[in-house]
Amino acid sequence: MVVAVDVHQVFQYPFEQVVASFLRKYPNPMDKNVIAVKIVEEKKDESTGIIYRKRIAICENVVPEILRKVSILKVPSIQLEEESWLNLQERNMAIRSRCLTWTQYASMKEESVFRESMENPNWTEFIQRGRISITGAGFLNCILETFASAFLKQGAQKGIRIMEMLLKEQCGAPLAK
């Protein structure tokens, strides 16, 4: 079974400010699960101006303690890889993230886009689709997928709250229509 979570949010701030806040979002005291984020590759395509970044995030293992009794789930941290393509000229940034931990048992992928809002060019639209599929964990598949679905939804909501807080701190009140 594949668990999917879709998120759509409009930030009432310009694209450049939203992207800058996104890139500074973690680590953050509002989400102690993200321990560190490291840029492992960054390059600019001189012909298109697109900036490519690859980052690795180290996160605490948030799997409930009761489930960590299963040896494959008993790891101290989880690694996530995020790739992004920032096009300042077209005012959009595409992001692809995936979990590097437990790849033989689970697939967790997110695809996101930040882009100028069609409603207001001073606002930024955020669209995200997260998918988790768990296989090879036997009877635990269903339990882990239920946990993963709740975790994805809560994580997306928390990420939006953190972005709103960072934007308000760094840029002031949101822009009105």
Angle, in degrees to the nearest 10, between helices 15-23 and 140-171: 120
* Spatial CA neighbour of 75 closest among 108, 110, 100: 100
Supply 114's token pair: 């930040």
DSSP state of 88: T
Structure confidence by residue, pLDDT tens digits, 27-57: 888 888 899 999 999 999 999 999 999 999 9
pLDDT tens by residue, 5-32: 899 999 999 999 999 999 999 988 888 8
Confidence at residue 63, expressed as pLDDT on a 0 to 100 scale? 76
Place of tokens 């997928």: 145
Neighbours of 41 (CB within 10 A): 10
CB 2 within 8 A of CB 133: yes
Range of weakest confidence among 99-108, 110-119, 136-145, 168-177: 136-145
pTM of the model: 0.88
Instruction: Give the residues across from 9 on adjacent strands.
Output: 126
Tell me how crowded residue 110 is: count the other CB atoms within 10 A of its CB. 21
What gap in Å lies between CA 127 and CA 99, rounded to an integer? 19
> What is the pLDDT at residue 64?
72
Closest CA to 117 of 175, 56, 30: 175
φ, ψ of residue 61 in degrees (nearest 5): -70, 115
